[in-house]
Amino acid sequence: MSLKSRLMGRAPSPDANGNGGATTAAPAVTITSPMFPTPGPTKPAPAAAASGMYTHRIEEETLGTVDQLKSDLHRRLIERLDLDALEQIKDERVISAEIRRAVLDLLRDEPTPLSQSQRDEIIEQIIYEVIGLGPIEPLFRDPSISDILVNGSKMIFVERRGKLTRVATSFRNDAHLTAIIDRIVSRVGRRVDESSPMVDARLPDGSRVNAIIPPLALDGPVLSIRRFGADLAIDNLLANGAMSEGMMELLSGCVNARLNILISGGTGAGKTTLLNALTSFIQADHRIITIEDAAELRLQQHHVVRLETRPPNAEGQGEVVARDLVKNALRMRPDRIIVGEVRSGEALDMLQAMNTGHEGSLTTIHANSPRDALARLETMILMAGTNLPNRAMREQISSALNVIIQVSRLSDGTRRITSIVEVTGMEEAVISVQEIYRFRRRGIAADGAVLGDFEPTGIRPAFTERLRLAGVEFGPTIFSER
């Protein structure tokens, strides 16, 4: 049946000579179309409204026909391709060329008339279906998108420059979305099913993926992708206004002088991005060991050992948590240990490593302020199963940490370093801190942009002498209050 016949809702009928001539109109179609005129007299249309309704119906049926064609071609392609052989090919360009050739062969036998742009679109989407992320592959390739949030098969949101917007892209159904989720997690040895309906995984570029499916997700599978793309260099953060030149100079000196740094902030504030950027200041000859739940860090140095936690298997066995990896890292002769994020008892082992000769270590934590970060560290030490008194915990924290960097996502979607704090030690039973740099807000512009300036507080940090001994010299005004 041709596309015209499908759109008109009529099937070809043979004439008296056996040729396809006359057609029998389907009852549903009674309105004429200038594109496909119906033979014979027709009822006059009152009708701007009727014409608009018919055009809308034609568009819907056209989309339905093309979508059905994509589904059929995908099924036939899977039957035709040797998927095991494709798995052995590492070059994605070769795989794409093979799939493109096979789809073109299938389209030659397809009676449905298609324009060249429709053919190209079908080929690209089938390539995305076979080796990519399906309908969201174009979103993933857009460098301006930092988050892709799929709330069921028909509702997809993206974040651009800190703002969430809904996009028109959708999956065919929940089964289609589940198949894409399964492909993502299976690549890293994870699985998602009714017995294990939640999963954390990562894509080859380091992007973080979280998926949760029914019965825990009531409205269908949910997929969240956090991308780590272009803004990993410290120069990009400076150009985007995330910090001032004085702050960059200070942080560069802190990393070079091997101070222990804790990056604090809320979800999506840019903690991992800043951690990635700061690692560019680490000396090239240092042996670095990274420990993460999902490997996201991309260090520029050559001597890097990457470790990743492992969830339990189907029998609940074989789990390896961050605390196990931190303990093991101490036996691997590290110059620096970088923990992607401390969430639990590994905080105690990390602090002990900082206190026992592994200086220059970096990590991140979820907290709304530097003081909250210190309180959360105390809670995590208790999660390690120790019964340390409060003073002992605080002494451990104050002697291990040198600098806390607070990052925030502001109301206009921009990310800023809002505070750089030095941990100076203990004052009686309280950890003493002093702020060196801060972001002072001045208000909100007419377009919603947050107005403010980075400024030093005028306090010269106690670790200045340590930086000088490490060969780090600052200008006379870097700590001067303006």
Residue 45 — pLDDT band, cuts 50, 70, 90?
Answer: very low
Q: Does 99 share its domain with 247? A: no
89 token code pair:
């090919």
Structural domain boundaries, residue 102: 3-11+47-131
Q: What is the pLDDT of residues 174-190, one digit of tens each?
A: 998 998 898 888 877 77
Q: Does 154 share its domain with 82? A: no
User: Is residue 28 a part of any domain in this protein?
Assistant: no
| Region at 437 (left for phi over 0; alpha for psi -120 to 50; beta for the rest) | beta
Contact 221, 214 (CB under 8 A): yes
Q: Does 243 share its domain with 378? A: yes
| Region at 9 (left for phi over 0; alpha for psi -120 to 50; beta for the rest) | left
Q: Which residue has better confidence, 349 or 480?
A: 349
- What per-residue confidence (pLDDT) applies to 63? 47
Neighbours of 61 (CB within 10 A): 15
Q: Does 376 share its domain with 429? A: yes
- What per-residue confidence (pLDDT) applies to 231? 53
User: Is residue 301 a part of any domain in this protein?
Assistant: yes
Does residue 14 have a cis peptide bond before it, meaning omega lies within 30 degrees of 0?
Answer: no
* 25 pLDDT more than 60: no
| Three-state secondary-structure class, residue 77 | helix
User: Is residue 338 a part of any domain in this protein?
Assistant: yes
Phi and psi (nearest 5°) for 405? -110, 120
Q: What is the pLDDT of residues 335-349, one digit of tens each?
A: 999 998 998 989 999
Look up residue 245 and give its amino acid. Answer: E
Residue 75 — pLDDT band, cuts 50, 70, 90?
Answer: low
The domain boundary, picked from 192, 226, 260, lies at 226
Residue 71 — pLDDT band, cuts 50, 70, 90?
Answer: low
Phi and psi (nearest 5°) for 161? 50, 40
Regarding beta strands 156-160 and 415-427, do their DSSP bridges make them parallel or antiparallel, or are they unpaired? unpaired
The domain boundary, picked from 131, 148, 167, lies at 131
* Distance in angstroms (rounded) separating the CA atoms of residues 410 and 415: 6
* Distance in angstroms (rounded) separating the CA atoms of residues 245 and 180: 43
Residue 425 — pLDDT band, cuts 50, 70, 90?
Answer: very high
% of residues, the chain, pLDDT over 70 = 78
Q: Does 145 share its domain with 126? A: no
User: Is residue 182 a part of any domain in this protein?
Assistant: yes
Q: Does 299 share its domain with 422? A: yes
Q: Does 349 share its domain with 444? A: yes
User: Is residue 330 a part of any domain in this protein?
Assistant: yes
Regarding beta strands 145-151 and 222-226, do their DSSP bridges make them parallel or antiparallel, or are they unpaired? antiparallel
% of residues, the chain, pLDDT over 90 = 37
Claim: this prediction has a pTM higher than 0.85: no
Q: Which residue has better confidence, 347 or 105?
A: 347
- Cβ contacts of 414 within 8 Å, gap of 6 or more: 161, 162, 240, 241, 242, 449, 450
- How many residues are listed for the chain in this entry? 482
- Centroid of chain to Cα 269: 13
User: Is residue 162 a part of any domain in this protein?
Assistant: yes
Q: Check which CATH number belongs to the domain holding 296 and give it.
A: 3.40.50.300
* 302 pLDDT more than 80: yes
* Distance in angstroms (rounded) separating the CA atoms of residues 139 and 477: 45
- What per-residue confidence (pLDDT) applies to 59? 43
Q: Does 452 share its domain with 378? A: yes
| Region at 408 (left for phi over 0; alpha for psi -120 to 50; beta for the rest) | beta
Q: Does 361 share its domain with 266? A: yes
Q: Report which DSSP code applies to 164.
A: E
Q: Does 449 share its domain with 465? A: yes
Contact 456, 432 (CB under 8 A): no
User: Is residue 64 a part of any domain in this protein?
Assistant: yes
Q: What is the pLDDT of residues 129-177, one digit of tens each?
A: 777 788 898 898 888 888 999 999 999 999 987 788 999 888 888 998 9
> For the residues 404-426, what does the mean pLDDT come to?
93
User: Longest C-alpha distance within the chain, in Å?
Assistant: 106
For 176, 325, 332, the CA distances from 328, given in Å and listed in that order, are: 41, 5, 7
Q: Does 387 share its domain with 360? A: yes
- What per-residue confidence (pLDDT) applies to 291? 93
Q: What is the pLDDT of residues 198-250, one digit of tens each?
A: 888 878 777 888 999 998 998 899 999 988 655 567 888 888 889 999 999 99
Q: Does 214 share its domain with 257? A: no
- What per-residue confidence (pLDDT) applies to 40? 44
> For the residues 69-74, what does the mean pLDDT come to?
66
User: Is residue 91 a part of any domain in this protein?
Assistant: yes
Q: Check which CATH number belongs to the domain holding 221 and give it.
A: 3.30.450.370
The domain boundary, picked from 115, 131, 147, lies at 131
Number of independent structural domains in the chain:
3
Regarding beta strands 362-366 and 336-339, do their DSSP bridges make them parallel or antiparallel, or are they unpaired? parallel
| Region at 333 (left for phi over 0; alpha for psi -120 to 50; beta for the rest) | left
Neighbours of 88 (CB within 10 A): 7
- What per-residue confidence (pLDDT) applies to 12? 43
Mean of pLDDT over the chain: 80
- What per-residue confidence (pLDDT) applies to 13? 43
Highest mean pLDDT among 99-103, 205-209, 415-419: 415-419
From the list 356, 359, 339, the residue with the least C-alpha distance to 347 is 339
* 377 pLDDT more than 70: yes
- What per-residue confidence (pLDDT) applies to 78? 58
| Region at 457 (left for phi over 0; alpha for psi -120 to 50; beta for the rest) | alpha
Classify burial at 441, counting beta carbons within 10 Å of its beta carbon; exposed 0-12, middle 13-18, buried 19 or more. middle
Residue matched to tokens 């279906």: 129
